[in-house]
Amino acid sequence: MKRIGTLIIGAGQAGLAMSRCLSDRNIPHVVLERGEIANSWRHERWDSLRLLTPNWQSRLPGFAYQGDDPDGFMSMPEVTRFLNDYATASRATVEDRTRVLSVTRLDNGYRVATDRGDWNCGTLILATGACNVASVPALAADIPSRVDQITALDYRNPDQLAPGGVLVVGASATGVQLAAEIRAAGHEVILSAGEHIRMPRHYRGRDIQWWMDRAGIQTMQVDEVDDIDRARRVPSLQLIGSHAQRFCDLSSLAAQGVEIVGRLSAVRDGTALFSGALHNHCALSDLKMNRLLDTLDAWAEDTGLSGVGPVERFAATPCPASSRLSLYLGRGHIRTILWATGFRPDYSWLHLPVFDRKGALMHREGLVAPGLYVLGLPFMRQRNSALIDGVGADATALADHILCTRGRSAA
């Protein structure tokens, strides 16, 4: 049994940022990592993926991108290298290849059992990420067995897929990027789209992330939005980490030859049934994009911003008057279904009464229970909490809270 004041689980950007903030406050701690530093980026992403945020926006406490391409987008090997460099620069104490098996409550802290021995700690920080498990709808069980099913977590490149048609389910950033890549590789692709939000990569001559950063959209706090539960469920923007195309949205995919259908709502007798609400989902997407652009324009006007291009508006999504409502899966022309239906964290090892009715971890701005914290969840404290650029502010706030609490308990 090893003892330490503070333990962090996970050595991604969240765990490393937390480690750095604790070191800055002279709080002894250890980071447990199931695999290697940046394990998810290294092993659980598709090959062509690049960050959706430009390089300059990879800012962590005491560390930032210093390369010569601030407007570029990091590949996964580059993200891995970036986080490794951060760990080195921060002298983080990482116990790698140490998988946490269970966390239980002790009188004065937590017991963390791992496959390499147990730890007791007074303070525990969960930094295991928001995307450990692919969320797949229950109706996947009704898909005929002759159709291959693969999730976005297991997808690497189009070579993995059987020749033939692919039904991509989900049209957030993941779904649209994968639909584009698989279509470009020559497959027939049908994309099933529910709620989604299109967004231009660059606007008025600047990257959209620059706008959202400068206008304070990314750093909006939980109490600045009407309904935080809804804000946490907002799908990721339809963006791709590339300057080669302005949009990676339903319009660009349709132009590429991808067939767009509504949300997959049921599978009956081997037939996939799609919602007839595609038109409204396209309208909502256009409205949401325009609402954000209005906000950015108003901010530019108010601040007297110069050096940007003129106000732009984009053609509405050309939604077909009637989209396909059913697709028979038994005929063999759809060989693969790719689930791009979101991700969720895995806390199956967390044996504590800290979950709501639907199994989601309950927390208030990262505080789960006395001495127990979480980091890196969508809109945890502010909108960019789950981004590399946002986790630093959260880590700083939690480290201050830990410092305060320790001070009180020591006194």
Partner 1 sequence: MQTSTMTKPVSNGVNTEALLGARGAFAEMPEAAAFTFRSTCDWKDGTHSTNAINGYFGLGQNHERKETFRIDSDHPEVFAAADRAPTPPEIVLAALASCLSGGVAAVAQHRGIQLHHMRAIVEGDIDVRGILGMDPDIRNGFSAIRVSFEIDADATADEIRALVAQSQKRSAVFDLITNPTSVNVTVA
**Judged by CB, which is closer to partner 1: 113, or 277?**
277
The dihedral formed by the CA atoms of 224, 217, 379 and 265, expressed in degrees to the nearest 10: 100
321 near partner 1, judged by CB under 8 A: yes
Closest contact distance (angstroms) between CB of 373 and partner 1 is 25
Is residue 99 a contact partner of residue 313, using CB atoms and an 8 Å limit?
no
| Cβ-based nearer residue to partner 1, 273 or 361 | 273
Footprint of partner 1 on 20-49 (CB under 8 A): none
CB of 268 to partner 1, least distance (A): 7
Site string for partner 1, 267-306 (x = CB under 8 A): -x----x-xxx--x--xx--x--xx---------------
Q: Is the dihedral of CA 29, 131, 381, 363 positive or negative?
A: negative
Reported residue count of the chain is 411
CB 19 within 8 A of CB 3: no
Cβ nearer to partner 1, comparing 45 with 196 = 196
Q: Given candidates 120, 149, 252, 265, which one binds partner 1 under the rule CB under 8 A?
A: 265
Q: Output 284 or 369, the one with its CB closest to partner 1.
A: 284
Q: Rounded to the nearest whole angstrom, what is the least distance from the CB of residue 271 to partner 1 in the complex?
A: 10
β-sheet bridge partners, residue 49: none
Beta-carbon contacts of 155 under 8 Å, excluding residues fewer than 6 positions away, are 46, 178, 338
Distance CA 16, CA 90 (A): 8
Sign of the alpha-carbon torsion through 271, 236, 154, 126: negative
State which of positions 179-218 bind partner 1 (CB under 8 A). Answer: 195
Site string for partner 1, 341-360 (x = CB under 8 A): ----------------x---
The Cα-based distances of 172 to 156, 190, 233, 235 in angstroms read 18, 15, 12, 6
Between the CA of residue 68 and those of 56, 73, 85, what are the distances in Å? 10, 12, 16
Residues 125-164 that bind partner 1 (CB under 8 A): none
Nearer to partner 1, 40 or 275 (CB): 275
Report whether 34 contacts 46 (CB < 8 A): no
Count of positions on this chain that bind partner 1 (CB under 8 A)? 19
- Footprint of partner 1 on residues 68-107 (CB under 8 A)? none
Nearer to partner 1, 273 or 305 (CB): 273
> Is the CB of 104 or the CB of 280 nearer to partner 1?
280
User: Angle CA(262)–CA(153)–CA(191) in degrees, nearest 5?
Assistant: 20
What residues line the site for partner 1 (CB under 8 A)? Answer: 195, 262-263, 265-266, 268, 273, 275-277, 280, 283-284, 287, 290-291, 321-322, 357
